[in-house]
Amino acid sequence: LCFLSVFLICESHFGAYMPVVIGIVGSVHSKVQDLECQTSPGLYTCTDFDQIPFVASLVVFHTVEEINNSQFLPGIKLGYLMCDACVYGTKALDCVERMLAVNGPPTLLPDYSNFTSPIKALLGERIVYSYCQTPQSLHDSPDKLHFYCTSTNYAMRRSFVLFQTVDLTEAYGQRMAVYAITHAIKKLLKCDDTSCSKDTNFLPWKLISILRNMKFTVDDQTYYFNKDGDFENGYDLIMWKKNGDERILDVVGQYLISNNNVNVYDLMV
Ligand SMILES: *[C@@H]1O[C@H](CO)[C@@H](O)[C@H](O)[C@H]1NC(C)=O
Ligand SMILES: *[C@@H]1O[C@H](CO)[C@@H](O)[C@H](O)[C@H]1NC(C)=O
pLDDT digits (tens, 9 = 90+) for 200-220: 989 999 999 898 888 888 888
pLDDT of 10-51, one tens digit each? 333 444 568 999 999 989 998 898 888 888 877 889 999 988
Q: Which atom of ligand 1 is nearest to the CA of 64?
A: 13
Q: What is the mean pLDDT of the chain?
A: 75
59 CA distance to ligand 2 middle (Å): 38
Count Cβ atoms within 10 A of the Cβ of residue 85 and give its class: 0-12 exposed, 13-18 middle, 19 or more buried: buried
Q: How confident is the model at residue 267 (pLDDT cuts 50, 70, 90)?
A: low
Which range scores top for mean pLDDT: 95-99, 188-192, 221-225? 188-192
Pocket lining: 114 vs ligand 2, CB cutoff 6 Å: yes
pLDDT above 50 for 62: yes
Using a pLDDT cut of 70, give the percent of the chain over it.
Answer: 73
pTM score, whole prediction: 0.72
Integer-rounded Cα radius of gyration of the chain: 21
Q: How confident is the model at residue 171 (pLDDT cuts 50, 70, 90)?
A: confident
Report the residue among 114, 116, 201 best suited for mutation to probe ligand 2: largest number of ligand atoms under 8 A from its CB: 114
Pocket lining: 266 vs ligand 2, CB cutoff 6 Å: no
pLDDT above 80 for 120: yes
Q: Which atom of ligand 2 is nearest to the CA of 114?
A: 1
DSSP state letters, the chain: -TTGGGG---B----SSPPEEEEEEE-SEEEETTGGG--S-----EEEE-HHHHHHHHHHHHHHHHHHHTTSSTT--EEEEEEE-TT-HHHHHHHHHHHHTTTSPPPP-S--TT---SEEEEE----EE-PPPPPS-TT--HHHHHHHHHHT--EEE----GGGS--HHHHHHHHHHHHHHHHHHHHHTT--SS---S-TT--TTHHHHHHTT-EEEETTEEEEB-TTS-BSSEEEEEEEEEETTEEEEEEEEEEETTTTEEEE-GGG-
Measured over the CA atoms of residue 230, residue 233, residue 237 and residue 243, the dihedral's sign is: negative
249 CA distance to ligand 2 middle (Å): 43
Report the residue among 61, 69, 119 best suited for mutation to probe ligand 1: largest number of ligand atoms under 8 A from its CB: 69
Indicate the Cα dihedral angle 197, 203, 204, 205, nearest 10°.
-120
Q: Using alpha carbons, select from 248, 195, 218, 226 the residue that is nearest to residue 268.
A: 248
Closest-lying ligand to the alpha carbon of 116?
A: 2
Neighbours of 120 (CB within 10 A): 25
Nearest protein CA to atom 1 of ligand 2, as residue: 114
Ligand 1: which residues within 6 Å by Cβ?
A: 11, 13, 64-65, 68-69, 77, 79
For the segment 56-84, the average pLDDT, to the nearest whole number, is 93
* Comparison of pLDDT for 85 and 133, the residue scoring more: 85
pLDDT above 90 for 135: no
Using a pLDDT cut of 90, give the percent of the chain over it.
Answer: 27
Cα–Cα distance for residue pair 227/221, rounded to 1 Å: 20
* Comparison of pLDDT for 42 and 63, the residue scoring more: 63
Nearest protein CA to atom 10 of ligand 2, as residue: 114
Report the residue among 113, 116, 201, 206 best suited for mutation to probe ligand 2: largest number of ligand atoms under 8 A from its CB: 113
Pocket lining: 110 vs ligand 2, CB cutoff 6 Å: no
